[in-house]
Structure 1
């Protein structure tokens, strides 16, 4: 693999994906940009080629469409130039779980989890053979906070967090780096598409700052990067508490607190 591997970015036409494209182009990486909006991709690609001199390929694809997804899978599986995969494409939907239709729910799950997992699965064997490669998965702090109320969206992002942590444990020893990024509210079009007014939120991070912070974590080789979290010790304590529970999961009998109450002696 070359010193500057190409980067494939999903959801690259706007928002977080477009800024990742800008930043990696400025680092000298060729790009493969994937999204549904060809016109926006072409405008972005032409600008980046003109400003940075990198090569930019455009792939128009809807990752909830099986044929389109298969096309992108083939690209990441077979194109040896691609050494970094940025799984950024994601969606939310308006309303609470009770308001959302089964089709709404299925589409969010398809894009946020199934497409991400399939692309990661497609690229992993090649990365293992090469002994190097990087995968960046965009999750969300919502995946840690059911209190925020975005039940399905949050569940998909919790999946992305768990998947990424598991993959880093599995693939890290094989030379592959997996990072998961957890933004909080960020000024992107996902809010409008989900029927929410981003300006009504109490705190919103600009997308450029979010991606720049995420890339600091990438350069440090963090597994979990949470740009809005001021105190890293809070995440460290959270992880330590979780890990302390693990040895206690291996039990022959249910914990005493779940044992049936004994009848008093006659």
Structure 2
């Protein structure tokens, strides 16, 4: 019987989103890929459809355009049955708050928080109609502590964590399971990779390949696990950070970030 269900992935064309697309395709899932214009998403979709014999629909637009986002989501609701939502799109930045353009701050809030909540809320009725559904939200190890010079990013990831776990409890009587994953450092692009390498061994602790993070996140999400922390060292780091006072871990992590900024 032909599979008519779809998995929707935001930020689907690069980094962790690309890996989610590849691995979901390999699992036989039909996919809706949402990505920015000019991100070569159609080429990737064509390759995956040819290789795995699945169906993929591509939507390239800027999710910070809320009117367009709602319009696209309404169209998706009308034409597709979504049983798996992966809220992967996210952006960050390392800069003193006084030196950050307002547009950059607003973009982090729009993508990491507002768009994620809008997508989830609008797609929820369709997800709840499914015999079994899943939502996977991408937070970060940064969610576990405030960080100077990254003030907005970890706060946005803490929001994702709180939102996901609250939503999971709210939906616990239903057949829709919500999971949240907390990746450590990810080499998503050349700039991020250079900063991770520049930190030496300390920067590479907890570093996993994007393919491994995606594999762990998908497996545990589909098994219904609430909190997903990929990698042994990230689990250890989470335990240590849970013991340390907020002031202590704030100073430790912020000092490392300040040093990273001096290297750039």
So what's the TM-score if we normalise by structure 1? 0.80
The equivalent of 1:62 in structure 2 is 62
How many angstroms does 1:97 deviate by?
1.9
The equivalent of 1:88 in structure 2 is 88
Residue segments in structure 1 that go unaligned for 5+ positions in a row: 240-266
Residue segments in structure 2 that go unaligned for 5+ positions in a row: 243-264
Q: Which structure is larger by alpha-carbon Rg, 1 or 2?
A: 1
Q: Answer whether contact 1:8 1:34 (CA < 8 A) is retained.
A: yes
Q: Deviations over 1:49-75 (max 9, x none)?
A: 111010111101110112331233214
Q: Which moved more, 1:53-62 or 1:144-153?
A: 144-153
The equivalent of 1:218 in structure 2 is 221
1:147, 1:238 → 2: CA distance? 13
1:173 alignment partner, SS class: coil
1:141, 1:113 → 2: CA distance? 16
1:172 alignment partner, SS class: coil
Say yes or no: does 1:125 pair with 2:125.
yes
Say yes or no: does 1:109 pair with 2:109.
yes
Q: Answer whether contact 1:7 1:84 (CA < 8 A) is retained.
A: yes
Q: Answer whether contact 1:136 1:178 (CA < 8 A) is retained.
A: yes
Q: Answer whether contact 2:134 2:221 (CA < 8 A) is retained.
A: no
Say yes or no: does 1:207 pair with 2:210.
yes
After superposition, the Cα gap between the structure-2 partners of 1:231 and 1:199, relative to the gap in structure 1 and judged at 3 Å, is closer
After superposition, the Cα gap between the structure-2 partners of 1:220 and 1:148, relative to the gap in structure 1 and judged at 3 Å, is farther
2:182, 2:6 → 1: CA distance? 24
2:97 alignment partner, SS class: coil
After superposition, the Cα gap between the structure-2 partners of 1:166 and 1:49, relative to the gap in structure 1 and judged at 3 Å, is same
Q: Deviations over 1:127-168 (max 9, x none)?
A: 234453211111111011214642100000000000000010
How many angstroms does 1:98 deviate by?
2.3
Q: Which moved more, 1:43-52 or 1:69-78?
A: 69-78
How many angstroms does 1:39 deviate by?
5.0
The equivalent of 1:18 in structure 2 is 18
Write out the 4+ residue segments of structure 1 that deviate beyond 4 Å after TM superposition: 229-239
So what's the TM-score if we normalise by structure 2? 0.80
1:125 alignment partner, SS class: helix
Q: Which moved more, 1:35-44 or 1:136-145?
A: 35-44
Q: Answer whether contact 1:76 1:122 (CA < 8 A) is retained.
A: no
1:174, 1:236 → 2: CA distance? 31
Taking only aligned residues, the RMSD between alpha carbons, in angstroms, comes to 2.6
The equivalent of 2:32 in structure 1 is 32
Q: Answer whether contact 2:10 2:89 (CA < 8 A) is retained.
A: yes
The equivalent of 1:77 in structure 2 is 77
